[in-house]
Amino acid sequence: MGDLNTFPLSYKVQGQRIVIIGGGEEALNKVRLVTKTTATVVIISQRIEADFSGFAVEVLERAFRASDLDNVALVFVAEESGDADAAKSTARARNIPLNVVDVPAECDFYTPSIIERAPLTIAISSEGAAPVLARLVRARIEAMLPPGFGKIAKLAGGLRQRVESLIHDGAARRRYYEALVTSRQVEAAIGTSPVAGLYQAEALLDQHVRSGAAPGVVWLIGAGPGAEDLLTLRAQRLLQEADVIVHDQLVPSAVVQMGRRDAEQIDVGKAKGHHSFSQAQINTLIVRLALEGKRVARLKSGDPMIFGRAGEEIAALRLAGIDYQIVPGVSAALAAAADTATPVTLRKVSSGFVMATAHGAEDGDLAHWAALAQSGLTLALYMGKSIAPSVAVRLIGQGAAVGLPVGIVINAGRADKSMHRGTLGQLAADTLKMAEGPAIIFVGEAVAAGDWADAAEIATLGFKVA
């Protein structure tokens, strides 16, 4: 014997009526729920108080009659009255399933929390014991489903006969349906029109009939600065769909572990001990995996298009004719701005924000430093941690004020973040000891508007800049 006192099932209501006795808020709540179906919804009460005008329902402001329950699939009672009592006994006499709002003892059935992407339905029930928990679970599942999922499910239903006549092997058919419901092209197309979606679904079917498999795809996914909850919902969903996850060293394993458990994981940034992959090897790797028909998640820290070598990987994928898609992520500078409440653009102070590399501070690309120093914009410098003092020297050399505020965030967006603050002059003169981890260096007047209370003051060596 099991533990459930109720049994979840999908009950046919098409072509029938659902009757709600009651005209107040409780009745309205049920109306919201049952108007998701194709049944005719009838409201009966001598006191219609709520506003039902936004719903396709029949409102009868009168006493209940036994004939109201002819051809009725379900009855909800949402008021206390003589009519309600009459409806209850009529429903019971005729064996019509009955729900009496807030009176579990009188209910034949409960209504679960529903996620509807018709025809796909997910019902979450706690047998009435913990509706809050059911709602919480519902929110989590909602987040995992792409908005157009129902339309895709409908499409799959419509294609069923054709798929069966064209693909005879059951496993191959399953592969097609899997590819169909996870295809970004189909999802994007169906967002514009059902016909466009059908066209994409047919193109995919063609490919499957010809090659017996889904073509591979590479998703360039931004993993954000390293916190699991700074991943986008789309990134999370695609990680769940990927067969292989190819990730950089900067992506923490907690984020990589958000992928499917049986997905292959390849760390292309492992520098310690063994050789790390060259960019050319990474390009070759992702192309090869996609050509094998795999769905590849190429997981990069922050945003893939910002200092992520995405340009080279995209070029390789284009050359090989492989499908790809970019999923943006929270770049390190944005996480650093959030951590320190620094508005990187600020009215009358900073009219823009530059994400720039600090690399080349030593070999001195003068045009780069001159442009940065004279921009008057907030600078967010990447990859500059080990050469921070020479970055300051370069900027001052190109005309930046020594008193310009500087803020450094190490491990932005993560629990172990740490901060330093000071001026360009201080930074130029310092041999700064910073914590382990990647860092963003902010330079500009807007930095002073941030909240750097937890930051260590950058020490000066012997002299103080006014």
Active centre residues (catalytic): 248, 270
- Helix-strand-coil percent breakdown of the chain, rounded to 5? 40, 20, 40
Q: Counting contacts by CB under 6 A, is residue 396 touching ligand SAH? A: no
Q: Counting contacts by CB under 6 A, is residue 339 touching ligand SAH? A: no
Residue with smallest beta-carbon separation from ligand SAH: 302
Site for ligand SAH in 218-257 (CB under 6 A): 225-226, 250
Q: Counting contacts by CB under 6 A, is residue 412 touching ligand SAH? A: yes
Min. distance of Cβ 404 from ligand SAH in angstroms?
19
> Any idea what the Cα angle at residue 464 is, between residues 381 and 354, rounded to 5°?
15
Query: What tokens does 342 get?
Result: 């620094």
* Interface segment toward ligand SAH; rule CB under 6 A; list 23-31, 58-66, 258-266, 432-440: 432-440
Q: Which of 113, 331, 418, 423 binds ligand SAH (CB under 6 A)?
A: 331
In order, the DSSP letters of 76-134 are EE-S-SHHHHHHHHHHHHTT--EEETT-GGG-S--PPEEEEETTEEEEE--TTS-HHHH
Q: Counting contacts by CB under 6 A, is residue 447 touching ligand SAH? A: no
- Strand extents, DSSP E, 175-322: 217-222, 244-247, 264-267, 295-300
Q: Counting contacts by CB under 6 A, is residue 439 touching ligand SAH? A: yes
End-to-end CA distance of the chain: 80
Contact indicator for 440, 332 with CB cutoff of 8 Å: yes
- Sorted by sequence, the CB contacts under 8 Å of residue 164 that are 6+ apart come out as 173
Containing H/E element for 422? strand 418-423
- Sorted by sequence, the CB contacts under 8 Å of residue 7 that are 6+ apart come out as none
Give dist(CA 38, CA 184) in Å, integer: 30
Q: Which of 301, 340, 342, 378 binds ligand SAH (CB under 6 A)?
A: 301
Q: Which of 413, 422, 444, 450 binds ligand SAH (CB under 6 A)?
A: 413
Q: Which residue, 125 or 301, is less far from ligand SAH as judged by CB? A: 301
Q: Counting contacts by CB under 6 A, is residue 300 touching ligand SAH? A: yes
Min. distance of Cβ 300 from ligand SAH in angstroms?
6
Q: Which of 186, 332, 346, 379 binds ligand SAH (CB under 6 A)?
A: 332
Q: Counting contacts by CB under 6 A, is residue 37 touching ligand SAH? A: no
Give dist(CA 179, CA 437) in Å, integer: 39
Q: Which of 64, 369, 382, 442 binds ligand SAH (CB under 6 A)?
A: 382
Which residues form the interface with ligand SAH (CB under 6 A)? 225-226, 250, 300-303, 306-308, 331-332, 336, 382-383, 409, 411-414, 438-440
